Amino acid sequence: GENVEQHPSTLSVQEGDSAVIKCTYSDSASNYFPWYKQELGKRPQLIIDIRSNVGEKKDQRIAVTLNKTAKHFSLHITETQPEDSAVYFCAAGLSGNTPLVFGKGTRLSVIA
């Protein structure tokens, strides 16, 4: 089955700097790669996703890149702000209509 590895497990950046979180997956059949942000005690919130037919997607300060050959995808957050502090999860699945396999999360701290 699918296995998703995520790193780093913790990341601290200065406000205004960029943050990068990386994930690798094992199943070449996976075609859907969402990223979720989870604040303490809250539900995971979808922040961006990418499908295998594109290599990069951007939404304001966040972007995701996908390398299907190498089986890895990354989340990039630019101009970080204190409100970006949270735990971020990557996931992989055959599609958005199928179960997702999640990474173990990255705790991002943005220091003002």
Partner 1 sequence: DGGITQSPKYLFRKEGQNVTLSCEQNLNHDAMYWYRQDPGQGLRLIYYSQIVNDFQKGDIAEGYSVSREKKESFPLTVTSAQKNPTAFYLCASGSGTSGRFGTDTQYFGPGTRLTVL
E strand segments, the chain: 4-7, 10-14, 19-25, 32-38, 45-51, 56-59, 62-67, 72-77, 86-92, 101-102, 106-111
Among 19, 21, 75, 100, binds partner 1 (CB under 8 A): 100
Regarding 58 and contact with partner 1 (CB under 8 A), the answer is: no
State which of residues 20, 65, 102, 109 lies at the interface with partner 1 (CB under 8 A).
Answer: 102
Beta partners for residue 57, in sequence order: 64
Q: How near is the Cβ of 49 to partner 1 at its closest, in Å?
A: 6
Amino acid at 17: D
Q: How far is the CB of 112 from partner 1 (least distance, A)?
A: 26
Residue closer to partner 1, measured from CB, 8 or 16: 8
Q: Scanning residues 15 to 44, which ones bind partner 1 (CB under 8 A)?
A: 32, 34, 36, 42-44
Query: What SS3 class is residue 2?
Result: coil
